[in-house]
Amino acid sequence: MVHVLAKIVLVCEKRDKCMATHYWLLVDAVRISDAAQLIQEHFSVVQILPLYAGTPFDYLLEQSPYLVNMGPDIANVETWRTLPYFDTSSVIFAVDDKICADDFIVHLQAMLKIEVAGQVLCLRFQSQRLWDAVLAQANTDDIAQCLGPSKGVFWFNSDDVPVCLYKPNPFTPVEGEQQDSVFKQWV
């Protein structure tokens, strides 16, 4: 299964041959209590930070998901699948190396709390459930909005099958609320 994921990643990456990709792991530190230790032991880490740092959720820092820049090493993606619970409690974003890391971080932090149909909703990007629903129901604009400056996201669906979702078009920020029914079902 691990090699299948690597093949999927490489097939998805072929369309962007001229651009190097950095892989960013987003992991649920509540569901995987020893996530920080496992990350340090098993991955080449360029940068690690709690996603809630500097946001309105700063008071929940101890429960914050970790956002980890693992650099361009595809071996990190292969290792990801082998760690306990990482298949259900984390995702990996593919980000072009020309994208400023701060832009990607700020985007994810801005999307933590969105407005849908006049109600506030907190998104858990590290959840396979969110991405399964986005893949199944969201329109291309909402997919682009969720992915922000990243090129795509990898996760394992509820059947433990690797999934790769890439944006069809370059990112264009959209102001306002998400419109698609995939988001309204959670309100």
β-strand partners of 163 = 155
pLDDT digits (tens, 9 = 90+) for 4-38: 444 445 444 444 444 689 999 999 999 999 999 99
Q: Which of 51-60, 107-116, 154-163 has the lowest mean pLDDT?
A: 107-116
Global pTM value: 0.81
Side-chain half-sphere CA neighbours of 108 within 13 A: 27
Domain boundaries, the chain: 2-184
- Supply angle C-alpha 45, 47, 48, rounded to 5: 95
State the pLDDT at residue 27. 95
